[in-house]
Amino acid sequence: MIDMYTKQQLILSYHRDGKSIRSISRELGIHRSTVTSYVREFEASLQALDVSEKDESSMEVLIEALCKAPTYDSSNRKKRKLSDEIQRCLDEYISANAKKRSSGRSKQCMKKRDMWEDLQNRGYQIGYTTVCNYVRKAEQKLKEVYIRQEMLPGFITEFDWGHIRLTLGGKQTRVLMAVFTLKYSAYRYARLYYREDGISFTDAHVHYFDHIGYVSREVVYDNARVMVARHVGKQKEPTERLMELSLYYGYKHRFTNAYSGHEKGSVERSVEYVRRKSFCMKDEFDNLDQANEHLLNKLHQINGRIPKGRSKNAYALLEEEYESMMKAPAAYQSSEYRSVRVDKYSCVSIDTNQYSVPEQYVGQMLNVRLFAQRIEIYDDHQLIARHTRHYAKYQYFIDINHYLQSLQRKPGALATSTALSQAADSIKDLYKTYYQDKARSFVMLLVRMREKAWSIDQIYQAHQICSQKCGIERISLDKITVLMNMDPQKPKEAVQKEQRVAKTGAMKKQHEQILLASRNQLKAVSSLLNNPI
């Protein structure tokens, strides 16, 4: 096919320059029959226009025909390589891919290049572009049609997980974001967790229902393992946690079809939207609690905006949903129970991490109650230890108060112990300032603090007073105990008055003792005078 410029040059050479068809063919390197066809086409267009009708519009039509690029009619052209046999093979590939997608094996589907290579291996000579064009048209016919729905107030809540990378405490951490979206009002709620496990799943629901105070009629989930226990034919069996939640809060659960995120499209978009709006500007925090507080503030801003096409924000539309929703009951206790044995370090192992318990339980079996953010350890029904739950690996988390009896017997182990290194900064400062060389006295002080429920602030104040009066070297546990036993609630004047009264009483008692001794001496002298030797 010649281009538009060559066509124009061909016609001008014939009509303007008077060149023959043979010479034009030699100059342009085009076959004579091609030159002849374009010349005849242009002459026919000239003859179709009568001289009297050669107005401005007619000339524009002629010029357009002259400048129009050459085209060929290929509508009736048959495909020479794409035979019926090859089409049947491609249809089989497409059908096999559809079956794999429906059975959850979408990542094992054949790509267009795989189909082309298999046809080449079978001995068929066909181009890769031809295969792509045929498969694209065939799959276009199979595209799904979506039915737009009108949402009722208070009827549907959608739930989904999203992944975020944040810097927590200076360390890059991958966290999970549980997102809820009310379908009618587009009200959004989200919370961050370290893991996508059953405890986090339950805890997210508890916080969500407690946050809005109401429960929608239905909650839509995808097919994640934390929600779906197993597939029984075409039916999906919910996990025990999901059953407990739906029964306690009184809502109906519904699962989407596999690989059908559009069936809960509102929350799918919410995950991306909330993640971007909340953490695109700030993604470094001291801990997860601070990140959750930041997320809650951003959600307040998001829900306060009026979206395009609506006249009210999510808060106003949520008020309309309350009329059709159920009042949420008291918060559900989201936890998990385990039985563990205490090791020789007086620790229990939970998810590869070690948490300390009081030392008298070494070797015993204890019950652990796991929450999303904390751990409670029980001996029967008695709470003996509580820790913040950590999601690191192979770490020890020690409470120094769990080892005080052993440290009294082994005070030399205190300085390099994990218990002291993980103690509060105020405890470590107290040790370094006043008890660097008096480990046993420091351990006894910790024992007395636990028994008397003294606060660290009171202890610091007592040490400062004692150091001012007698110096740091002469600080002793007895002196600190005397200062701590003084009632800090009494005003200074009352304390001074009591001291004066006590001093006066002591002086009066001493005076009475002196008078009594004087009388006894007078009696003795009188007895001697009355009875001379």
Q: Rounded distance, CA 376 to CA 361, Å?
A: 15
What is the Cα Rg of the chain in Å? 45
Specify the amino acid at residue 159. F
In three state form, how does the secondary structure of 372-391 look? CCEEEEEECCEEEEEEECCC
118: how many CB neighbours lie within 10 A of its CB?
A: 15
Domain extents in the chain = 4-67, 87-141, 156-327, 335-397, 407-489, 496-533
The pLDDT tens digits of the residues spanning 490-509 come to: 444 544 555 565 556 666 66
Q: What DSSP string describes 93-155?
A: HHHHHHHHHHTT-GGGPPPHHHHHHHHHHHT----HHHHHHHHHHHHHHTPPPPPP-PPPTTS
pLDDT tens track of the chain, all 533 residues?
Answer: 677 778 778 888 887 788 888 888 888 888 888 888 888 887 877 776 654 455 555 556 566 656 666 666 666 666 677 888 888 899 899 888 888 877 777 788 899 999 999 999 988 888 999 999 888 888 776 566 656 666 778 889 999 999 999 999 899 999 999 999 998 888 999 999 998 888 999 999 999 999 999 999 999 998 888 888 887 767 788 888 889 899 999 999 988 876 555 555 566 788 888 999 999 899 999 999 999 999 999 999 999 998 777 888 999 999 999 988 999 999 888 788 899 999 999 999 998 999 999 999 999 999 999 988 899 999 988 999 999 998 888 899 999 999 999 999 999 999 999 999 999 999 999 999 888 888 999 999 999 888 888 888 888 888 888 888 888 888 888 888 888 887 554 444 544 555 565 556 666 666 677 777 766 766 665 665 455 54
Q: Rounded distance, CA 349 to CA 342, Å?
A: 8
CATH fold of 156-327 reads: Nucleotidyltransferase; domain 5 (3.30.420)
Query: What's the confidence (pLDDT) of residue 494?
Result: 46
Query: What's the confidence (pLDDT) of residue 495?
Result: 45
CA angle (170, 172, 173) in 5-degree steps: 120
Q: Rounded distance, CA 512 to CA 509, Å?
A: 5
> By C-alpha distance, which of 203, 253, 184, 266 is closest to 223?
253
Structural tokens at position 21: 């068809």
Q: Rounded distance, CA 273 to CA 265, Å?
A: 12
Give every CB contact of residue 207 below 8 A, 6+ residues apart in sequence: 189, 191
Q: Rounded distance, CA 159 to CA 49, Å?
A: 71
Give every CB contact of residue 200 below 8 A, 6+ residues apart in sequence: 176, 178, 193, 194, 372
Please check whether residue 220 is in contact with residue 227, taking contact to mean a CB–CB distance below 8 angstroms: no
Please check whether residue 336 is in contact with residue 342, taking contact to mean a CB–CB distance below 8 angstroms: no
pTM value is: 0.60
Specify the amino acid at residue 418. T
DSSP conformational letter for 331: P
SS3 312: coil
- Is the dihedral angle over the CA atoms 23, 28, 32, 36 positive or is it negative? negative
Structural tokens at position 516: 């009594």
DSSP conformational letter for 371: -
Backbone φ and ψ of 435, nearest 5°: -130, 30
Give every CB contact of residue 1 below 8 A, 6+ residues apart in sequence: 70, 71, 72
Specify the amino acid at residue 378. Y
- Half-sphere exposure of 379 toward its Cβ, with a 13 Å CA cutoff? 11
Q: Rounded distance, CA 469 to CA 465, Å?
A: 6
> By C-alpha distance, which of 132, 126, 112 is closest to 80?
126
Give every CB contact of residue 124 below 8 A, 6+ residues apart in sequence: 85, 86, 89
Strand partners, 172: 167
Q: Rounded distance, CA 220 to CA 389, Å?
A: 29
Give every CB contact of residue 261 below 8 A, 6+ residues apart in sequence: 222, 268
Please check whether residue 370 is in contact with residue 336, taking contact to mean a CB–CB distance below 8 angstroms: yes
